[in-house]
Structure 1
Amino acid sequence: MHPTIILPFLAAITAGALVGIERSYSGRAAGFRTLSLVCLTACLLMVVCQFPGLTQRFGGFDSTRVVQGVMAGVGFIGAGVIVKDGATIKGLTTAASIWLVSALGIAIGMGFYAEAAITLALALGILSVFRKIEDLIPRRLMVHYLVRFRVEHGLTEVRVREFLKSQGFQVSDLTYKVKESGELFEYKMTVYTQARDGLSKLAAALPIGLPALEYELYATRD
């Protein structure tokens, strides 16, 4: 084995590891080791498919099929890290990172080192610098809110809306239903606020402002 054959593998591991370090630092499940393995595997497949004797051995070998296979396989891994918890969806950025390192591995395996290096630098900038920029951008916090209470408590829609308005929230998509043979009443709605700490303040004020049996709050930000 020629010493230079190890170069694309080391480059792929480094690229995957650098992206993985950022993901591990952010507390994501698919981090340092996972992304290193994905990038290395993609690189290996592309190096193998460019073996000079491969076309002669199998006849009409098309490396683009390998690329398609890699991306299809990575799709299963990416789908596995996306989690839906109530109305909250988590893992989209990690799934995109897995997709990214697989593409980096393909580029490195095909010898496009400069292109892979530039893409890696841009990706690390997006994952780190853009996170800080995103925190500075004014955003509307959207929360899916459910409140369930006994009918005798008499929490009317007007009272619920007034309470949420007093906490700085606007209400939309409000629905309600009667449950447990008419003993329980339930409101479901989507509420909005511009306050960054609005969700924590609302959670603290709920037991006093709206005494009920059960509350559920789901913020939609990943």
Structure 2
Amino acid sequence: MAAGLGAAVGMEREFGSQPAGLRTHMLVALGAALFTLAGVGPAHTDPTRVAAQVVTGIGFLGGGAIFKEGVNVRGLTTAASLWVTAAIGLAVGLRAWEAAVLTTVLALSVLWLVKQAEHLYLPLRRNLMVTVTIKHGSRLDVVERQVLDALPRARVLRIAYAEHEQLIELAAQPAKSVSLPQLAEELRLLPDVEGVDLTR
């Protein structure tokens, strides 16, 4: 049962191409359930102590799913889903079947339904990474001003000089009505801009 409930959460993460997917969530739930069963076995170990150790251990595993991508931090939701999956496994080990199933349903609702609601009703929170390649010898301050005019909600992260090119890297939150190809073309048409790279 623990493996099945963990698989339900893991499938949602798998469809989202997250670093921890189906097998990871199944193993987390299965391991948590087994630790709990061992804690209430013949040795009469206190199951709450076992649960505390599982929670601590899953923190290290969840930390491995979190990584920094530019100015964005990815994997927080997957780390949280691993934590919840461990709790589901603990509940199964304690034979709290209804709590385990209900938590799985609620977790899937948060991961999928709330995600859809975020896309529809909440403003875009993740930054768009913008790298603008500038013709060598151009005035960076002028080009920077033009780029910031095109991206009002942006901030410059780095300005790099190379032998044959100059780069400006920015973190931006463009309007939802503007598609990435439109934005790239708008920036590309700015004077002295040679190339544009956009990364979500």
TM-score normalised by structure 1 residue count: 0.75
1:191 matched to 2:172 = yes
Report if aligned partners of 1:12, 1:36 keep a CA contact under 8 Å in 2.
yes
CA distance in 2, matches of 1:69, 1:37: 16
Match of 1:85 among 69, 74, 96: 69
What secondary structure is seen at the aligned counterpart in 1 of 2:189? Answer: helix
Residues 23/191 of structure 1: CA separation in 2 closer, same or farther (3 Å cut): closer
Match of 2:189 in 1: 208
Residue type of the partner of 2:189? I
What secondary structure is seen at the aligned counterpart in 2 of 1:147? Answer: strand
CA distance in 2, matches of 1:175, 1:123: 36
Name structure 1 gaps, 5 residues minimum.
Answer: 1-10, 56-60
User: How much has 1:109 moved relative to structure 2?
Assistant: 0.5
What secondary structure is seen at the aligned counterpart in 1 of 2:173? Answer: strand
Residue type of the partner of 2:58? V
User: How much has 1:218 moved relative to structure 2?
Assistant: 4.6
CA distance in 2, matches of 1:175, 1:133: 31
Match of 1:54 in 2: 43
Match of 1:134 in 2: 118
Match of 2:106 in 1: 122
User: How much has 1:178 moved relative to structure 2?
Assistant: 7.1
What secondary structure is seen at the aligned counterpart in 2 of 1:89? Answer: strand
1:96 matched to 2:77 = no
Residues 184/25 of structure 1: CA separation in 2 closer, same or farther (3 Å cut): closer
CA distance in 2, matches of 1:191, 1:163: 11
Residues 95/147 of structure 1: CA separation in 2 closer, same or farther (3 Å cut): same
Report if aligned partners of 1:13, 1:37 keep a CA contact under 8 Å in 2.
yes
Report if aligned partners of 1:88, 1:218 keep a CA contact under 8 Å in 2.
no
Report if aligned partners of 1:70, 1:102 keep a CA contact under 8 Å in 2.
yes
Residues 218/38 of structure 1: CA separation in 2 closer, same or farther (3 Å cut): same
Q: RMSD of the alignment, in Å? A: 2.8
1:76 matched to 2:60 = yes
1:156 matched to 2:141 = yes
Q: Structure 1 vs Structure 2: percent identity of aligned residues?
A: 29
1:143 matched to 2:132 = no
CA distance in 2, matches of 1:197, 1:23: 28
Residues 162/198 of structure 1: CA separation in 2 closer, same or farther (3 Å cut): farther
| Structure of higher CA gyration radius | 1
Residues 87/215 of structure 1: CA separation in 2 closer, same or farther (3 Å cut): farther
Match of 1:165 among 124, 149, 173: 149
TM-score normalised by structure 2 residue count: 0.82
Report if aligned partners of 1:176, 1:187 keep a CA contact under 8 Å in 2.
yes
Aligned residues: 199
CA distance in 1, matches of 2:120, 2:162: 45
Name structure 2 gaps, 5 residues minimum.
Answer: none
Report if aligned partners of 2:3, 2:29 keep a CA contact under 8 Å in 1.
yes
